[in-house]
């Protein structure tokens, strides 16, 4: 009897049906583990992962450790301005445009130098290729038809355009970024007010608002998260917020940092201060909208006068001029 049981057990273990059953159970366990990993995620871990990713995107072009402003030496002495005030002004403009890396000032001047020297280099290459290898007929006729004076004018104009294009592009980017901040800051202030009234601390509220505005207002999200990263790095809160306002370059943000700083200094409620400032900012924006609306009739009258006065002069003075020519023209 024990021998029969052992032989049956041996046959059962050697059976291909049992092997298939075990393989199926193993495959089911693997699928269950994959489903648990993908579908049943920890919400806290997801929030921490999202916060870490947001901090990484915000600090992609920013550095917490600022390089000190040094007098340019060597090759940089011929490239960067020697006056510290001029370097500081251009660096502030780059920061307001969203570029705050350690080498942005050098990269900006290198780009301007490359664009300024591109036209003379291209002109020299065209002339050298035309005299050595030859150019296609269309380009050769155009290059050969230009005189020295005309070619010098084209090169000078191209050099000036290449030299001033980065500056004009930087100003347009600053204006566009500040417009984005002005448009999205009221919503950010409302979210800060709601978060502080709900019981969150100011730093946690700024971090939460910065993460929430990542896709809606990337500039505000980046500045809020960078400010909080500097505070977490043991920097003074007032100084970090003042630098944030300087980077944004918007009056509303500067006033916001002053309100928050005074509230923290005197120990008053931040939620109440934000509520009062939000109401004041809405009134200021309403006054600006009314000012723009009141300027419209004056602007429209100027355009209408420019467009209508020539036609009016033609109608009133045209017959007189024609009569004068017909009488005294003979």
Task: Mark whether 225 and 246 lie in a shared domain.
Answer: yes
pLDDT tens, position by position, 261-311: 888 888 888 888 888 888 888 888 788 888 888 888 888 887 777 888 888
CA dihedral 105, 106, 111, 112 (to 10 degrees): 70
Number of other residues whose CB lies within 10 A of the CB of residue 292: 10
Mean pLDDT computed over 21-26: 71
Task: Mark whether 194 and 166 lie in a shared domain.
Answer: no
For residue 18, being part of any structural domain is answered with: no
pLDDT above 90 coverage of the chain, percent: 2
For residue 58, being part of any structural domain is answered with: no
Name every residue whose Cβ is closer than 8 Å to that of residue 104 and which is 6 or more positions away in sequence.
91, 94
- Note the pTM of the prediction, 2 decimals: 0.64
Task: Mark whether 161 and 202 lie in a shared domain.
Answer: no
For residue 299, being part of any structural domain is answered with: no
Tell which of 179, 206, 222 closes a domain. 179
For residue 51, being part of any structural domain is answered with: no
CA distance 219 to 222: 5
Tell which of 179, 201, 216 closes a domain. 179
Task: Mark whether 191 and 175 lie in a shared domain.
Answer: no
Q: How many domains does the chain have?
A: 2
- Residue 223: strand pairing partners: none
Q: Based on the number of CB atoms within 10 Å of its own CB, is 145 exposed (0-12), middle (13-18) or buried (19 or more)?
A: exposed
Least confident of 90-104, 205-219, 237-251: 90-104
Mean pLDDT computed over 165-188: 88
Kindly state the tokens that stand for 156.
């000078």
What pLDDT does residue 172 have?
Answer: 92
Whether residue 214 is predicted with pLDDT greater than 60 in this model: the reply is yes
Task: Mark whether 203 and 172 lie in a shared domain.
Answer: no
For residue 69, being part of any structural domain is answered with: no
Q: Which domain does 128 fall in, by range?
A: 75-179
Assign 160 to helix, strand or coil: helix
Of the candidates 280, 289, 278, the one whose C-alpha atom is nearest the C-alpha of residue 186 is 278
pLDDT tens, position by position, 147-161: 667 767 777 888 888
Task: Mark whether 169 and 194 lie in a shared domain.
Answer: no
Q: What is the DSSP string of 79-143?
A: HS-S-HHHHHHHHHHHHHTT-B-TTHHHHHHHHHHHHHHHHHHHHHHHHHHHHHT---HHHHHHH
For residue 319, being part of any structural domain is answered with: no
Number of other residues whose CB lies within 10 A of the CB of residue 252: 19
Task: Mark whether 195 and 278 lie in a shared domain.
Answer: yes
Name every residue whose Cβ is closer than 8 Å to that of residue 154 and which is 6 or more positions away in sequence.
119, 123, 146
Over its C-alpha atoms, the chain yields an Rg (Å, rounded) of 35
Secondary-structure breakdown of the chain: helix, strand, coil percentages, each rounded to the nearest 5:
80, 0, 15
For residue 322, being part of any structural domain is answered with: no
Task: Mark whether 101 and 166 lie in a shared domain.
Answer: yes
Q: How far apart are the first and last CA of the chain?
A: 147
For residue 49, being part of any structural domain is answered with: no
**Cα–Cα distances in angstroms (integers) from residue 195 to residues 40, 157, 203, in the given order:** 29, 55, 10
What pLDDT does residue 61 have?
Answer: 46
Task: Mark whether 85 and 174 lie in a shared domain.
Answer: yes
**Cα–Cα distances in angstroms (integers) from residue 64 to residues 213, 240, 271, 286, 312, in the given order:** 21, 11, 29, 37, 64
Tell which of 179, 211, 238 closes a domain. 179
């Amino acid at each position: 009897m024990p021998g029969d049981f052992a032989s049956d057990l041996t046959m059962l273990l050697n059976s291909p049906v049992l092997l298939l059953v075990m393989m199926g159970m193993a495959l089911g366990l693997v699928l269950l583990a994959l489903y648990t990993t993908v579908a049943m995620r920890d919400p806290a871990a997801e929030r921490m992962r999202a916060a870490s990713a947001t901090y990484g995107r915000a600090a992609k072009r920013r550095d917490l450790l600022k390089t000190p402003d040094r007098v340019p030496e060597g090759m940089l002495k011929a490239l960067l301005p020697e006056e510290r005030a001029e370097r500081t002004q251009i660096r502030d403009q780059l920061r307001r445009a969203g570029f705050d890396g350690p080498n942005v000032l050098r990269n900006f001047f290198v780009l301007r130098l490359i664009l300024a020297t591109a036209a003379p280099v291209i002109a020299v290459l065209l002339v050298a290729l035309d005299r050595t290898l030859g150019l296609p007929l269309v380009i050769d006729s155009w290059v050969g038809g230009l005189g020295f004076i005309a070619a010098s004018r084209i090169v000078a104009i191209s050099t000036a355009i290449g030299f001033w294009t980065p500056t004009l592009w930087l100003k347009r980017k600053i204006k566009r970024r500040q417009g984005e901040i002005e448009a999205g800051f009221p919503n950010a202030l409302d979210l800060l007010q709601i978060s502080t009234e709900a019981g969150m601390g100011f730093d946690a509220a700024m971090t939460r608002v910065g993460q929430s505005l990542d896709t809606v207002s990337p500039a505000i999200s980046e500045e809020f998260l960078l400010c909080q990263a500097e505070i977490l790095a043991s920097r003074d809160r007032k100084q970090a917020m003042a630098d944030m306002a300087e980077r944004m370059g918007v009056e509303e943000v500067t006033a916001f940092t002053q309100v928050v700083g005074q509230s923290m200094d005197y120990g008053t409620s931040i939620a109440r201060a934000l509520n009062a400032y939000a109401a004041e900012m809405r009134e200021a924006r309403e006054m600006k909208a009314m000012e723009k609306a009141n300027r419209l009739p004056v602007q429209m009258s100027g355009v209408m006068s420019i467009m209508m006065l020539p036609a009016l002069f033609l109608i009133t003075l045209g017959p007189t001029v024609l009569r004068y020519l017909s009488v005294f023209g003979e």
